[in-house]
Amino acid sequence: MNAPAHPYRVAVFVSGSGSNLQALLDAQQTGDLGNAEIVLVVSDRADAYGLQRALKHGVAAAFVPLRRPRDPAVRAEWEHRLADVTAAFTPDLIVLAGFMRVLSPVFLDRFPNRVINQHPALLPDDGGDAFTTSCGVVIPALRGAHVVADALRLGLPITGCTIHRVTPAVDDGPVLARAEVPILPGDTEETLHERIKQVEHRLIVEVVTRLARLNG
Ligand code: GRF
């Protein structure tokens, strides 16, 4: 496969398994990512399997550790370092794909309007606290790091996933795409999250391809 004439350069940030990164890498390999090209994978964790996935595909992988996350000065220095490493690869887009750190304006101001996030729950367009599903059921807009468990704990009939632009407000920012996923009887956090991820894999490829087409 020939490289696209004007690649749309994408950096992917991961903290764990990186199955969404894999979906992007696979799509790139089969020519299904338009003119988008994954140029960098970054993790805050040395053992993130996503780093291995990157290397297997010949993509640059960087580990940028955050040693004392609660120290604001250390955190700001880490965000500067993260931004420096990232900027060296001149990305058009940064995808937070299971990146478990909140980024502040220290980082975000270096890449205005270029950072998107995957969230494994349904978020509304208005930044509010409720979401109305396609069948008219109103459910809470779940935010934070445990939203799959929260959906089960609250006994919701439906949840899903959202891809949105990143702003300094956590799990907020303009929505680019979302999809609903029904919660089935007997679902555990693992089975439900696995089904959500299957949908996320398709959605992230769609969104990156779309942004690449619009900006390429
Ligand atoms: C996804 O469900 C994403 O929405 C959330 O973290 C998970 C990452 O999964 N932020 P993986 O590492 O891509 O498998």
Kindly report the CATH number assigned to the domain that includes residue 33: 3.40.50.170
Measured between alpha carbons, how far is 32 from 39 in angstroms, rounded to an integer? 16
pLDDT value, residue 4: 55
Whether 164 is catalytic? no
For the chain, the C-alpha Rg in angstroms (whole number) is: 17
pLDDT value, residue 103: 96
Residue 2 inside a domain? The answer is: no
Residue 192 inside a domain? The answer is: yes
Which of these, 44, 48, 28, lies nearest to 36 by C-alpha position? 28
Q: Whose CA is nearest to atom 5 of ligand 1?
A: 98
Residue 61 inside a domain? The answer is: yes
Measured between alpha carbons, how far is 64 from 80 in angstroms, rounded to an integer? 11
Residue 3 inside a domain? The answer is: no
CA–centroid distance, 1 to ligand 1, in Å, is 29
Q: Whose CA is nearest to atom 8 of ligand 1?
A: 98
The tokens describing 30, both together, are 């089969």
pLDDT value, residue 167: 93
Residue 96 inside a domain? The answer is: yes
Tokens 């580990």 map to which residue?
63
Residue 1 inside a domain? The answer is: no
CA–centroid distance, 100 to ligand 1, in Å, is 9
Helices and strands (DSSP H and E) totals, the chain:
6, 9
Measured between alpha carbons, how far is 21 from 210 in angstroms, rounded to an integer? 17
pLDDT value, residue 155: 97
pLDDT value, residue 170: 83
Domains in the chain: how many in total?
1
Q: Whose CA is nearest to atom 6 of ligand 1?
A: 98
Per-residue pLDDT 10s for the chain (216 aa) are 555 568 999 999 999 999 999 999 999 999 999 999 999 999 999 999 999 999 999 999 999 999 999 999 999 999 999 999 999 999 999 999 999 999 999 999 999 999 999 999 999 999 999 999 999 999 999 999 999 999 999 999 999 999 999 998 888 899 999 999 999 999 999 999 999 999 999 999 999 999 999 986
pLDDT value, residue 171: 83
pLDDT value, residue 6: 81
Which is the catalytic residue, given 6, 80, 119, 164?
Answer: 119
Residue 132 inside a domain? The answer is: yes
Structural domain boundaries enclosing 24: 8-215
- Torsion, CA 214, CA 112, CA 13, CA 105, rounded to 10: -160
Residue 28 inside a domain? The answer is: yes
CA–centroid distance, 183 to ligand 1, in Å, is 18
Measured between alpha carbons, how far is 212 from 93 in angstroms, rounded to an integer? 9
